[in-house]
């Protein structure tokens, strides 16, 4: 009888803890935000943005929009003809060179690094 009472006292809290642990949310994989790539090129931010936009427009089914950000940076937004964002390239002045950060979104289902390189080809 003593053993039975002792087991109930010990097992009951353990059973409740096991049930609660089963209800705890498991950490999921974070949603795909895209891939980021960094480059350094020998063009001004403005010239680099024009080049990136030209490369994007040369690809079938894509549009590009350039915009200045502050006094020394430029961004290029690359979209599909349907308006879905494919990439965002930010070009920052770094003296003689420019630093380019390209975010390629999950809408690009092929090789994202190759997509980013194609945007900067010849720039």
Indicate whether 44 belongs to any domain.
Answer: yes
Indicate whether 41 belongs to any domain.
Answer: yes
> What is the model's pLDDT at position 68?
87
What are the phi and psi torsion angles at 90 (to 5°)?
-110, 125
Indicate whether 2 belongs to any domain.
Answer: no
pLDDT tens column, 90-106: 999 988 899 999 999 99
Q: How many domains does the chain have?
A: 1
Tokens matching residue 122: 């010849």
> What is the model's pLDDT at position 40?
95
User: Containing domain of residue 39, as a range?
Assistant: 35-119
Indicate the pLDDT class of residue 114, thresholds 50, 70 and 90. very high
Identify any residues that bridge with 93 across adjacent strands, giving them in sequence order. 98
Indicate whether 100 belongs to any domain.
Answer: yes
Tokens matching residue 46: 């403005």
Indicate whether 110 belongs to any domain.
Answer: yes
Residue 6: pLDDT over 50: no
CATH number at residue 59: 3.30.160
pLDDT tens column, 66-83: 998 888 889 999 999 999
């Amino acid at each position: 009888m003593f053993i039975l009472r002792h087991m109930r006292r010990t097992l009951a809290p353990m059973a409740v803890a096991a049930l609660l642990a089963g209800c705890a949310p498991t950490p999921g994989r974070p949603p795909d935000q895209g891939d980021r790539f960094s480059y350094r090129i020998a063009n001004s931010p403005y010239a680099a943005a024009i080049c990136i936009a030209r490369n994007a427009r040369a690809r079938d089914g894509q549009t590009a929009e350039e915009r200045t950000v502050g006094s020394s940076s430029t961004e290029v937004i690359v979209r599909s003809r349907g308006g879905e964002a494919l990439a965002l390239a930010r070009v920052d002045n770094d003296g003689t060179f420019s630093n380019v950060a390209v975010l390629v979104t999950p809408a690009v289902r092929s090789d994202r690094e190759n997509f980013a390189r194609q945007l900067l080809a010849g720039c």
